[in-house]
Chains A and B, each alone.
Chain A
């Protein structure tokens, strides 16, 4: 059957099971948008800035496990997607971005709204395409979805010239993928698995570090079996949160710069580390030379390029986490590790994470805890980037997968609001809370209009401290309290929300917290709460930049000494 390029794309999207797309139109994609009404299966969500489209597609992908789809026009539309694409790339989120391009005769002539978006996104996409004839569109879309969701997932960009949308071609949706160069290794090497089993069986103080790869692979039951059979205490990376129930006795929480003290102590004392679907990010490892100094390391990852990239590895296993854990579980001996688990339990008691009593003011930690209590731990929490993100990671306990959605690798302020829209649209039956900072929120605040237009029932909690709080914390601790350019004059967020017909309240005292959350939960649509929190509250524990995990600082009792020590530390990735 003959179809136009635009129809071919729509039909291909439908074949891939797409029902939601996020985007903004413009000149180069007009022929495509003109075709959209012919495909009522595709619900288009109009965002207010293309960055919002990319983050929404990303949030949708993380909440549902499906591929997120976003659209933008050529030139500025495409460049506005860039941050969102990079964000998805760093966090291995499956995404297909389709951009309009100027018509073929204009390519390379600096035409109006022309940019080389395949060139620009080359280092931040898993793969990208410039499609020069309508007849190859179906094959390209098929490949793009396959690449986006298999192996190590990631964003794929398809750039389509305006006249290719209009050009007619015969529509054949390929049933098979022909990519001779792309064959991700799924099964772990049996000999490597045996070596790992030997290490695990002989270990006295093993620790599992679970990353986002566990949830991408859907290996929850396999991980649980390993943890429980061999009694291996486990910690998670920021994006590994939810890969294992946080209330489980053997889960010792998040490690890293703002990880739990006991999680960092566990890694430091371990004799064997089993790193699963994680990539030893510098925020997770602290100073690499001081990372797990006594441990031999087993690293399971689907991406061979992650093996040995940041940390020396003793037993690498390249493969899909679920497949590898299945094989490991067949061989690992049931073991009791009463002493080691007891040791970690003691550390957990000595260094509790709960902290809401060091000030009588409105503490963000207290608010997160109340949201946790009132949602019975069953909400999807989406965050921006900054202090609020760390508090949301530390003080909400995630027992189910994909319930904590946050920008990890790129650390993109402004991720929260559009990602929350994507998460709620992807999972309309779940309760979605956006926990955001006032700095982060203002970076994509325009998406309140999207919420209003589509009546997306996201509950928004702004932790308003009038600062770029995380940066201010660094200035306080490491730059002699010189608060350069971190103080924010904030608008009245309740009034802003009102402008979009979104109800909201402002909270200034503790006793107002619970009623406000209750009011938000009772509202059928979106709701905004502007929490005026303690302006100079800090996130603890903290591993200073350049320090190793064990050199964490806790709330003031040991801060002064730790800070003077950290001044002598080597250069690090701040």
Chain B
């Protein structure tokens, strides 16, 4: 049964590493839903967060294959752990002088920001989990969407330990109250 998996990895910051990782998914016919790459707490190491839909046994096989890639320092499937996950989206919405204030109200409710205003558009920046971004997007759709860019998920396990430093990511933590 396909389920959504969040895989995080620490990788050497070298050319071709992403290609090596992505090809392991491609070979098995997995569609990568999102992939986010950036710096990590360690110099020279990048942090990759991959979201993929697949049967657990297959994803586990890919995780093991990822661990074999020489440039992959650590990799973990943190789907079953208590985690915090966020993504960022930029949404450019059609806005006239009539609709602009309504859009601003919606943006306020979602604690999003307007980061650019044009004569006939506004650009909204929103951070949150996928559901929040989807909800905001759906509400703004009525005004007409010019452009949408999403970063894809980045994630960490809750609590004090490093998602990738521990052999086994901790399973339970006291959940922080949702803000």
Chain A interface residues (CB < 8 Å from chain B): 118-119, 122-123, 126-127, 130, 147, 179-182, 303-305, 307-309
Contact = CB atoms under 8 A, between A and B. Distances in A.
Interface in B52-97: 57, 60-61, 64-65, 67-68, 70-74
Contacts of A180: 73
Interface in B1-40: 12, 15-16, 19-20, 23, 27
Contacts of A123: 23, 27
Nearest to A154: B68
21 contacts: A122-B16, A122-B19, A123-B27, A130-B15, A130-B16, A147-B70, A179-B70, A180-B73, A181-B12, A181-B70, A181-B71, A181-B72, A181-B73, A181-B74, A182-B70, A303-B68, A305-B64, A305-B65, A305-B68, A308-B57, A309-B61
Contacts of A147: 70
Contacts of B16: 118, 122, 130
A94 to B, nearest CB: 15
User: Which of A147, A180, A307 gathers most chain B CB within 10 Å?
Assistant: A180
Contacts of A179: 70
Given A130-B16, A182-B70, A304-B64, 10 more contacts: A118-B16, A122-B19, A126-B70, A127-B70, A181-B12, A181-B71, A303-B68, A305-B64, A305-B68, A307-B64
A127 B27 CA distance: 17
A122 B12 CA distance: 16
Nearest to B26: A123
A101 to B, nearest CB: 14
Nearest to B66: A305
A305 B70 contact: no
A304 B70 contact: no
A118 B23 CA distance: 13
Contacts of B74: 181
Category for how many chain B residues contact A: 10 to 19
Contact of A304 (B23, B27, B67): B67
B54 to A, nearest CB: 15
Nearest to A306: B64
B67 A119 contact: no
B34 to A, nearest CB: 22
Question: What is the predominant secondary structure among interface residues of chain B facing chain A?
Answer: helix
A122 B16 CA distance: 9
Interface string B119-161: 0000000000000000000000000000000000000000000
A305 B61 contact: yes
A410 B60 CA distance: 24
Contacts of B67: 304-305
Contacts of B57: 308
A122 B61 contact: no
List the 4 closest pairs (A to B, CB-CB), nearest first. A305-B64, A181-B73, A127-B70, A305-B65
Contacts of B73: 180-181
B68 to A, nearest CB: 6
A491 B72 CA distance: 51
Nearest to B71: A181
User: Which of A126, A127, A181 gathers most chain B CB within 10 Å?
Assistant: A181
A85 to B, nearest CB: 16
A306 B29 CA distance: 19
A304 B62 CA distance: 12
Nearest to B10: A181
Nearest to B68: A305
B101 to A, nearest CB: 51
A573 B16 CA distance: 32
A300 to B, nearest CB: 16
Nearest to A179: B70
A304 B16 CA distance: 24
Contacts of A305: 61, 64-65, 67-68
Contact of A122 (B23, B60, B68): B23
User: Which of B27, B57, B64, B72 gathers most chain A CB within 10 Å?
Assistant: B64
Contacts of A307: 64
Contacts of A304: 64, 67
Contacts of B23: 122-123
A130 B17 CA distance: 13
A437 to B, nearest CB: 31
A179 B23 CA distance: 22
A373 to B, nearest CB: 44
Contacts of B60: 308
A147 B71 CA distance: 12
A123 B60 CA distance: 18
Contacts of B72: 181
A118 B15 CA distance: 11
A122 B19 CA distance: 9
Nearest to B64: A305
A431 to B, nearest CB: 38
A497 B68 CA distance: 45
Nearest to A309: B61
B61 to A, nearest CB: 6
Contacts of A122: 16, 19-20, 23
A126 B65 CA distance: 11
B154 to A, nearest CB: 21
A544 to B, nearest CB: 27
Contact of B19 (A119, A126, A127, A309): A119
A380 to B, nearest CB: 31
A305 B24 CA distance: 13
Contacts of A119: 19
Contacts of B70: 126-127, 147, 179, 181-182
A307 B74 CA distance: 19
Nearest to A127: B70
A50 to B, nearest CB: 23
B176 to A, nearest CB: 32
Nearest to A303: B68
A490 B102 CA distance: 83
B116 to A, nearest CB: 35
A147 B70 CA distance: 9
Nearest to B16: A118
Contacts of A182: 70
B46 to A, nearest CB: 12
B38 to A, nearest CB: 19
